[in-house]
């Protein structure tokens, strides 16, 4: 199958320190690929690199990121602008800081649509209704401010914004880390449902292997800026080759856990 996104030998440094080292990653159309790792492993740097949003202090030493065969580092600003949101969009971890606190959430959704498409106000309102329905929120939510909504509802709004321009790739950066486990399941079920319907690709970033098991087809395990293991989810779970991968799986308490202690790193 032809890949939609391919990262080749990407090395990025910040202040002389390598934050990404020789990273290779392939994302296939309609598939969900997970990047798992602890904080500081380079997961978020990778997602920022894909949108060419790395901080100014970061320097790319080598490598390329090919979106539909085209290196994003060769694109001009207009092409990049067009790619962001339209082709690749992102949902961030903390929905409360990602949303504008003084703007009604409906406007935040329509603003995105208006920025990317030239269509009539009437059509924009139609899109808004469709998007709210898709993320299973009622229409009157549009007139609320972010602080009036629960964490789960805010993340649904973020999802509506990210999906407003029908992207081909959705990057989810720890989308449920700030949420309760029961709300987490609702949001993940929702994302998976929409993904199945619309068939876009997802790059799912998380520190939690139990979530990987729920959502992913492919898994990339990251440590200190390197991809140390990758493969199909079933294989990684059944027989992880890397000691560190096994550790990340084992350190999660399970229901009915008989263990008295959990394995610790180092």
Partner 1 sequence: MNAIIEVTDIKKYFAKKSFFYGAEKMPVKAVDGVSFTIDKGKTFGLVGESGSGKSTIAKLVTGILVPDSGKMSIEGDIDIVFQDPFSSLNPRMTIRDIVGESLFVKGVNREEIEDKVVKILHRVKMKNMECLDKYPHQFSGGERQRIAIARALVTQPDIVVLDEPVSSLDVSIQAGILNLLKDLQEELALTYLFISHDLRVVEFMSDVVGVMKSGKIVEIASRQEIYSNPQNEYTRHLLSSIPKI
Within 132-161, the residues that bind partner 1 by CB under 8 A are 150-151
Q: Per CB under 8 A, does 209 bind partner 1?
A: yes
Q: In what order do the strands lie in the sheet with 5-14?
A: 17-27, 5-14, 58-67, 70-71
261 in contact with partner 1 (CB under 8 A):
yes
Could you say which of 80, 104, 198, 247 contacts partner 1 (CB under 8 A)?
A: 247
263 binds partner 1 (CB under 8 A): yes
Q: Count the Cβ atoms, other than its own, within 10 Å of residue 27.
A: 23
One residue of 22, 116, 237, 246 binding partner 1 per CB under 8 A:
237
CB of 255 to partner 1, least distance (A): 5
Tokens in use for 134?
């898709």
Q: CA-CA distance, 247 to 116, in Å (whole number)?
A: 43
Instruction: Rule CB under 8 A: say whether 98 interacts with partner 1.
Output: no
* Whole-angstrom distance, CA of residue 74 vs CA of residue 80: 9
Residue 120, burial from CB neighbour count under 10 angstroms (0-12, 13-18, 19+): exposed
Residue from 62, 81, 97, 210 touching partner 1 (CB under 8 A): that is 210
Residue 189 neighbours by CB under 8 Å, 6+ apart: none
Cβ distance to partner 1 smaller for residue 79 or 250: 250
- The site for partner 1 (CB under 8 A) is made up of 38-39, 150-151, 180-185, 207-211, 213-214, 237, 247-249, 251-257, 259-265
């Amino acid at each position: 199958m032809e890949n939609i996104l391919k990262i080749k030998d990407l090395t990025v440094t910040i202040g002389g320190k390598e934050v990404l080292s020789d990273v290779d990653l392939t994302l296939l159309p309609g598939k969900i690929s997970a990047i798992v790792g602890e904080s500081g492993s380079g997961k978020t740097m990778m997602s920022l690199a894909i949108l060419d949003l790395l901080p100014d202090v970061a320097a790319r030493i080598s490598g390329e990121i090919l979106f539909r065969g085209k290196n994003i580092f060769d694109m001009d600003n207009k092409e990049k602008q067009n790619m962001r949101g339209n082709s690749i969009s992102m949902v961030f971890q903390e929905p409360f800081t990602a949303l504008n606190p003084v703007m009604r959430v409906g406007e935040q959704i329509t603003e995105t649509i208006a920025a990317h498409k030239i269509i009539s106000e009437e059509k924009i309102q139609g899109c808004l209704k469709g998007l709210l329905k898709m993320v299973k929120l009622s229409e009157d939510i549009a007139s609320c401010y972010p602080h009036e909504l629960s964490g789960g509802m805010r993340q649904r709004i973020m999802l509506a914004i990210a999906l407003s321009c029908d992207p081909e790739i959705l990057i989810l950066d720890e989308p449920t880390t700030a949420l309760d486990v029961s709300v987490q399941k609702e949001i993940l079920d929702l994302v998976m449902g929409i993904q199945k319907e619309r068939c876009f690709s997802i790059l799912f970033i998380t520190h939690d292997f139990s979530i990987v098991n729920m959502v992913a087809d492919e898994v990339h395990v990251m440590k200190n800026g390197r991809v140390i293991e990758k493969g199909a989810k079933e294989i990684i779970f059944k027989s992880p080759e890397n000691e560190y991968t096994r550790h990340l799986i084992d350190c999660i308490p399970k229901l009915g856990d008989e263990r008295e202690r959990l394995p610790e790193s180092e």
